[in-house]
Amino acid sequence: MTTLHEGYFTAGLDADPELAVAIRGELERQRDGIELIASENLVSRLVLEAQGSVLTNKTVEGKPHARYYGGAEFADTIEALAVARAKQVFGAAFANVQPHSGSNANAGVFLGLLKLGDTILSMDTAAGGHISHGHPATLTGRDYTIVRYGVSRETERIDLDQVRDLAKAHAPRLIVAGGSAYPRAIDFAGLRAIADEVGALFMVDMAHFAGLVATGLHPHPFPHAHVVTTTTYKSLRGARGGLALWNDPALSDRIDYGIFPGVQGSVMLHAVAGKAACLGEALRPEFAAYNRAVVDNAATLAETLAAAGIRLVAGGTDTGLMLVDLSNRGVTGDVAAKALEKAGLAVNKNLIPFDPRPPEAPSGLRLSSNAGTARGFGREEFRRIAGFIDRVIANPADEALLGAIHAEVTELCRRFPIYAGL
């Protein structure tokens, strides 16, 4: 008699048809749909395998070569590889690749560098900032005093004068830059100068443009930032999770202890292996070519949408990400996103700066060229995507039209197949 059910070590997904159907459904959805959600990407088969490996069985705590548990020889190799690659990709002296998510990377850095109640000056969520930078609904929002800066009404870009005024009035310990819906390059030198004026540390969360930073297509947060955080699954096109980077050895213990044991426990070694894999890919020349295409394709999408009379927030994009304002098209972001989904295009509704509408039914949509570029779409395909969007938002309730566009989308996607053999 065995305590294991048949196929325990061999059967895989076949052992759970109910789950298998949903996972295969998701694979088909990714295969046959156009992914425009900025927080997503399509990882390589290498990253997929690293993240789905037996490393999920191994528990380690602490740093490579200084573990609490034994049996960590390969764990040490894997984490040390991820750390070395992260440092090389971003030109940093130190890296911590353990954060389970981008939010944990930020929370760990805050915990390590700040005291309870210290003031953080970060971008308002309504202006494109990320929720993990001190939104009142989060632990960080509760533990620190949060002051928010926004964007200028005219330019819809960060207004350094406003940031300086707020910094002088509130004397933050930390200034945070980077957001989840900010389409323009950020002036890191300008923000660091303000941080220096008020004696604050400066952190950049580059989740949405880390790939561009790695390949020289976006200004580098170093040497301006004291600490840089990022997710590894958006523009970095890799494993789920986050990482933190810095150059000053005096910060090392504080950041490392802030992450563990500060905000999380043992390492997700399978995710760390996935991070090592995507960071290895980021060192290849193909990754630079990919990122150049991300920027080109985003520019093409933005220009084609603008030519169709769709307004782009801040007038366009410097990254793979853009925000469109639908208010002059007589449709809200929620209605547009649902109609686009019916037509086979995944996008998310989004507030635009100074949005008069509520978050549930905002004026905008957020789009990105990350995932489409990963499957090989070029300018021609992104021009077609702009056309699909234009047609859908002109008639979001026309089911026949949505069905017809869905057929075109499927045909387009099948010419750019993903995960053959899965």
DSSP 3-state assignment of 140? Answer: helix
Instruction: For residue 131, say whether it is annotated as part of any ligand binding site.
Output: yes
Nearest to 269, CA basis, from 106, 69, 14, 27:
69
The residue among 36 and 392 lying less far from ligand PLP, judged by its C-beta, is 36
DSSP string, 304-364: HHHHTTPEEGGGS-SSSEEEEE-GGGT--HHHHHHHHHHTTEE-EEE--TT-SS-TTS-SE
The residue among 30 and 138 lying less far from ligand PLP, judged by its C-beta, is 138
Does 208 interact with ligand PLP (rule: CB under 6 A)? yes
Q: How far is the CB of 181 from ligand PLP (least distance, A)?
A: 8
> What is the spatial distance between Cα 347 and Cα 390, in angstroms, rounded to a whole number?
14
Pairing of strands 174-177, 119-123: parallel
Q: Judged by CB under 6 A, which of 35, 79, 156, 205 binds ligand PLP?
A: 205
Q: How far is the CB of 395 from ligand PLP (least distance, A)?
A: 32
> x/- site string to ligand PLP, residues 216 to 245, per CB under 6 A?
---------------x----------x---
Q: Judged by CB under 6 A, which of 78, 113, 200, 207 binds ligand PLP?
A: 207
Does 370 interact with ligand PLP (rule: CB under 6 A)? no
> What is the spatial distance between Cα 227 and Cα 245, in angstroms, rounded to a whole number?
6
The residue among 33 and 241 lying less far from ligand PLP, judged by its C-beta, is 241
Q: How far is the CB of 294 from ligand PLP (least distance, A)?
A: 15
What residues numbered 95-134 form the site for ligand PLP, per CB under 6 A?
A: 101-103, 130, 132
| Helix, strand, coil abundance in the chain, percent, nearest 5 | 50, 15, 40
The residue among 60 and 236 lying less far from ligand PLP, judged by its C-beta, is 236
The residue among 205 and 256 lying less far from ligand PLP, judged by its C-beta, is 205
229 neighbors 242 (Cβ within 8 angstroms): yes
| Angle, helix 269-282 to helix 285-307, in steps of 10 degrees | 80
Beta bridge partners of 175: 121, 202
Instruction: For residue 129, say whether it is annotated as part of any ligand binding site.
Output: yes
Q: Phi and psi at residue 242, in whole multiples of 5°? A: -140, 180
39 neighbors 421 (Cβ within 8 angstroms): no
The residue among 180 and 317 lying less far from ligand PLP, judged by its C-beta, is 180
Structure tokens at 374: 């990963």
CA 220, distance to chain mean position in Å, is: 17
Stretch that binds ligand PLP, among 117-125, 203-211, 263-271, 402-410 (CB under 6 A): 203-211
> What is the spatial distance between Cα 266 and Cα 333, in angstroms, rounded to a whole number?
40
Instruction: For residue 130, say whether it is annotated as part of any ligand binding site.
Output: yes
Q: How far is the CB of 390 from ligand PLP (least distance, A)?
A: 27
Stretch that binds ligand PLP, among 137-145, 202-210, 298-306, 375-383 (CB under 6 A): 202-210
The Cα-based distances of 342 to 388, 390, 392, 405 in angstroms read 12, 14, 10, 9
Counting residues that bind ligand PLP (by CB under 6 A) gives 14
CB-based closest residue to ligand PLP: 102
141 neighbors 135 (Cβ within 8 angstroms): yes
Q: Judged by CB under 6 A, which of 33, 34, 36, 39 binds ligand PLP?
A: 39
The residue among 130 and 226 lying less far from ligand PLP, judged by its C-beta, is 130
> x/- site string to ligand PLP, residues 154 to 193, per CB under 6 A?
------------------------xxx-------------
**Known binding-site positions for (6S)-5,6,7,8-tetrahydrofolate:** 129-131
- Contact positions vs ligand PLP (CB under 6 A): 39, 101-103, 130, 132, 178-180, 205, 207-208, 231, 242
**Known binding-site positions:** 129-131
